[in-house]
Structures are given as structure tokens and as C-alpha cells.
Amino acid sequence: MYNYLAVKDTIFKSNITLNCKGKLIEFDTPIIMGIVNTTPDSFYKGSRNKSIEDALEITKQFVKQEVDIIDVGGYSSRPGAQEINELEELNRVIPVIKAIKHHFPDLIISIDTFRPKVARLALIEDADIINDISGGQFDTSIFKVASEFSAPYIMMHMRGTPKNMQSKTQYKHLIKTLILFFSKQIKMAQNFGVKDIIVDPGLGFSKTLEQNYDIIKHLDLFNVLDKPILVGASRKSMLYKFLDITPDESLNATSIINTIALTNGAHILRVHDVREAMELKKIFTFLNRTIE
């Protein structure tokens, strides 16, 4: 449509490649990850899917909107969330993953879990990526699972658990602490044989409102890790509490913070609203395209 000289839609200094169980997938533009919750108590009611049919319907919408990855989760990690047992988590996510893969066999699925058994069974059912909010802190054997299946591993920073994490927000040097955490955990994961690692600073997880914005402002500093950066700010309290609105009213704020995140070095956006994120991706990519 716009043929200004020769345009190549490659905007990152080095392309992201993910080896999903032997299948090499290359991304040279921002990646949009759509959230498919199977939890009844997600902080954003618009993402609460009460049945396999609900989850499949939102997935169908996301596919039409050209989503890159679907992130399926069955354990609510909102602040103060109550724990559920492993069996309940499995009963929530495995049928959904099977249904999605049946209808969309080529769709990349991430399993949002910190439990090695859940991750393993999800990968057996053809999920592709592990998204671990604990960054391997709860059980290092999740690294073994990622290595065994050659699955990319998303490593998030968090202190404590979802139930108590907001009491653990004291940092002497926030960004330095996070980078040191990732350096240590990346080395550990690599020692287990994990090849592809994505880092997620963990907005809203053991961070104050101000700290969340500090991370976004200094996101480029995480490039020292030489790993793709995932940002999950979608409709979070850092937006709606700051603006004194509700999660339902925070779509515009989400688009704003996601634009800033991409500008400051994010590679992957984890979102509830795929259509709007895809529009952002297309505009951002066009404005930052490489002219050959």
C-alpha cells in the first residue's frame, strides 16, 4: 500500500526468533499476545471466561484480529488472589488448550503457570511457550520442562506470592535489582538447557504504582540482558487507579502506555484487547520501518 522506496518491516536491532518445540518462528515486528483467562476472578471482568466455549469464542475473535500468541491461564495472579490447587488449575486450562489447538492447530499458545506439572501437560497438549510469573523461583524444575520440550520461557519478576506480593515493594535500586534478578535466573535457566528466554519486569507484581512507571520509563536499560522484553500493563491498576477510573474504562490508557513501552524497547505486549493493540503495532511498525 505504501511503497516508499523499498520498505522492510524490521524495526528491532536483532530479530526475535523463538524455537517452539523444533519449529523456528521469527518475529521482526512487535508481538501481540492475547490474554485468555479461564479464571472466574480475574481483576478485569471482561477477561473472565466461564467455559471452554467462552474461551474458544474470545480466541476466535483474537485470531480474526491477527493475534500472534494466545496466553492461556487458569490461576489468578491479581494482588491478594487466593491459591487454587494443581488439579483445579489443570481442569481449567487443559481442556481450553485442547479446544483451541483443535480449531487453530497453527496458533502459538503460551501456558501461564508457575507449576511444572501444569506446564508439562500443557506442552504435551501442544502448547508452545511457558509463561512463569515466578521466574523459576517457586520450582526450578519448570526449567527442566522448558528444556525438555524446547519451549521458549517467559521469565517474570515478582517477590513473594500473589497473595502477599504488595507487601514486598521496598527496593534500594529498583531497576538494578530487577536486572540482577534476571541475570541470575537467566543463567540458572540456561544451565538447565533453556534456549529461548523472554524477560517480563512484572508490572503490578510487588511494585508500587510509581515503580511501575519507573520501569516503563527506563525499559531500555533491560536491553543489557540481550533478551526480548515483554510488557503486561493491560488495564492494570497502575492505569485505572492513577486516572481514577475503572478497569473497564482503561483501554485508552492501555494503548498509551503500550505505545510508550514499544518506544522504550518492548518487543511483546500482553493485552486483553487485541484489535487495538494490532492497530498500534501496525502504526508503530510503519513509523519505525527500515528503508533499504
Q: Which residues are catalytic?
A: 236, 270
Taking Cα atoms as reference points, which of 72, 73, 41 lies closest to residue 59? Answer: 72
What are the strands, taking DSSP E only, across the chain? 7-8, 16-20, 23-27, 31-37, 69-73, 108-112, 129-132, 153-156, 197-200, 230-231, 268-271, 290-291
Number of neighbours of residue 194 by Cβ within 10 angstroms: 24
User: Which has the closest alpha carbon to 81: 127, 37, 125?
Assistant: 37
Q: Cα 272 vs. chain centroid, distance in angstroms?
A: 11
Query: Strand 7-8 to strand 290-291: parallel, antiparallel, or no bridges (unpaired)?
Result: antiparallel
In this structure, are residues 154 and 108 in contact, taking their beta carbons and an 8 Å threshold? no
Residue type, 244: D
Helix (H, G, I), strand (E, B) or coil at 123: helix
Please check whether residue 267 is in contact with residue 230, taking contact to mean a CB–CB distance below 8 angstroms: yes
Specify the 3-state DSSP secondary structure of 46.
helix
